[in-house]
Amino acid sequence: MGCCSRVPRCLSRVPFATLIATVMFCAGVAIFLGSTQRAAASTLRIVDLLLPTVVTSGSRPRPRYGADEVRAGLVGGGVTMGVLGLALLVIACLATGPTRERLGWRARAGSRFCCALLMGLAYVALLGWIALSACAGLAATLCWLAGGMCSQMRDETACVDLRQFEFLLPTDGTTQSQLVLCGGRRKEFCKDHVEGSTVLWILGAASGVLVVLSLVHHLMCLAANYAHIKDQQKMGDLQLLHDLQETEMAALGPASKDRF
């Protein structure tokens, strides 16, 4: 009976809503980082194919970022998101069920501050992930359009003209001819890079949407926990006043208590 009676109490300490949101968050971040890393590397190879020489702006060379810089940025972002997800899960565990009743009463201001702080961080992360999802969706759309142009070229000797996408690349008059792909450059662009990049960018955009949904779920859970802690504070103050009134009534004696 002792073990059976402890099971419901242990389950009441588990924040199932936040746990589901954390699983969605971690899965979305992992898929996004994996797919985006490969898609970004393939996209950089496309840029190198279209612009094999370093484009200059005046007398200063324009910097070009490689796969190592992209990988380092994605790893840093993944670590940051992992820390945020862990903090959200820990605070949810501390603000759920009997744990909230035990710790929230002792540190009411600290509990509410932690919930409010994480709500702010989650909101900022939500805006960032909306922007990342939009960028991944835009990249997927451009790759899909380029793939459609490649699929329409039935003749092997035909060339793919990408000069309509000139505004996306730092080109000048001397490099416009490089945007017309023929022969081996066309095969490398269409078969080796565009086809794989389209699928990866679509996967990255979908996983970004999953992360956005998980962050919305986290915000709902944090708002509920904040409200529970605030209500618990009011109930605690009310119980304290009730106990104080009972103590005063007991001190007055039975006759005075009956009179009241």
The pLDDT tens digits of the residues spanning 38-76 come to 888 888 877 777 665 544 444 444 445 566 777 788 888
How far apart, in Å, are the Cα atoms of 150 and each of 138, 153, 154?
Answer: 18, 5, 8
Let me know if residue 178 belongs to a domain. Answer: no
Let me know if residue 26 belongs to a domain. Answer: yes
Task: Using pLDDT thresholds of 50, 70 and 90, give the confidence band for residue 198.
Answer: confident
The three-state secondary structure class of 27 is helix
Let me know if residue 260 belongs to a domain. Answer: no
Let me know if residue 43 belongs to a domain. Answer: yes
Residues 214 and 24 sit within 8 Å (Cβ to Cβ)? yes
Task: Using pLDDT thresholds of 50, 70 and 90, give the confidence band for residue 17.
Answer: confident
Between residues 217 and 50, which one has the greater pLDDT? 217
Number of structural domains, the chain? 1
Let me know if residue 259 belongs to a domain. Answer: no
Let me know if residue 30 belongs to a domain. Answer: yes
Let me know if residue 246 belongs to a domain. Answer: no
Let me know if residue 180 belongs to a domain. Answer: no
Domain that holds residue 108: 15-52+65-154+197-238
pLDDT of res. 29: 93
